[in-house]
Amino acid sequence: MQSGQQENTNTAPAPTKTTPGLAIAGLILGIVGMLFSFIPIVNFFALFPALLAFVFGLIVLFQKNVNKGMAIASVIMSIITVIIVVATNYLAYFALNQFNDSLEKTNNSRIDRINKALDSIDKTVDELESNSTDKSQDMDTSDNNKSNQKSDKIVEKNGAKIEIGEFRADADARGLSVTVTNQTSKTKSFIIGIDSYDKDGVDRGKDVVNVLYLPAGQSKKVKFFQHVSDEVNDKIKDGYFKVDDVRTL
């Protein structure tokens, strides 16, 4: 054996770790799941790619001699996706319940106000009708009192300006046109009673109209005596009208 003989020291190269296709697919699915996880309700569909990403990641983690970085990332992202989906939907459910409760309270409050207004209107109408009955029983129908019964075309009372317009007797547009103006600084509701008289000064009945929630400074046209009988219509078409009462709610 020669003294200068060299020993063979060559060793086999270490195996190269590869990235499996399942790891890549899991990473892509995990990214897709996270992108859709922030949208409430819709994000339930993000659970499907997140579940696949979790399964693919676990499969790769149990393999040997492979690059496991993407697999770990896909598992982590799938877990985060599930947490975000649960959290966002819980918050959305809580917010929706709060909104429904607030809406229900608002509607109940409005209904209570409307019911109170209607009760007040019914009470006022009953009082006006009672006053009209008492007045018609005591009214003097002589010609000497006709001039005292007639009233101005414009009446201002209780914050309302009442302008009596033209009475039309034809069937298509029957009624007395009246313009009501809110002269106060707040939105108001008015109950207005107007008496009708024939040309001889005989009281032919009262009509009451409710003008609800009229803004400050605004005007609204309403019609009285639209539904009177033909007999009354013929008698009052040549008569006159008088504002009897104006009340506010």
pLDDT digit string (tens) for 28-58? Answer: 988 988 888 888 877 888 888 889 989 988 8
Binning pLDDT at 50, 70 and 90, where does residue 15 land?
low
In this structure, are residues 36 and 42 in contact, taking their beta carbons and an 8 Å threshold? yes
pLDDT value, residue 136: 57
CB-count exposure of residue 98 (10 Å: 0-12, 13-18, 19+): exposed
Question: For the chain, where are the alpha helices, taking DSSP H only?
Answer: 21-36, 47-61, 69-138, 146-149, 230-236
Binning pLDDT at 50, 70 and 90, where does residue 181 land?
very high
pLDDT value, residue 147: 41
Q: Is the pLDDT of residue 100 over 80?
A: yes
Q: Is the pLDDT of residue 10 over 80?
A: no
pLDDT value, residue 80: 92
Q: How far apart are CA 46 and CA 30, in angstroms?
A: 9
In this structure, are residues 30 and 49 in contact, taking their beta carbons and an 8 Å threshold? yes
Q: pTM of the predicted model, to two decimals?
A: 0.44
Q: Where are the domains of the chain?
A: 21-94, 139-248
Which of 162, 166, 198, 204 has its CA nearest to residue 180? 162
pLDDT digit string (tens) for 51-85? Answer: 998 998 889 888 887 888 888 988 998 899 999 98
The number of CA neighbours under 13 Å toward the Cβ of 141 is 9
**Average pLDDT in the 175-191 region?**
91
Higher-pLDDT residue of 103, 133: 103
pLDDT value, residue 11: 53
CB-count exposure of residue 230 (10 Å: 0-12, 13-18, 19+): exposed
In this structure, are residues 156 and 183 in contact, taking their beta carbons and an 8 Å threshold? yes
Specify the range with the lowest mean pLDDT, choosing from 86-95, 125-134, 205-214. 125-134
Average pLDDT, the chain: 81
pLDDT value, residue 132: 64
pLDDT value, residue 245: 87
Report whether CATH 2.60.40.1620 matches the domain 139-248: yes
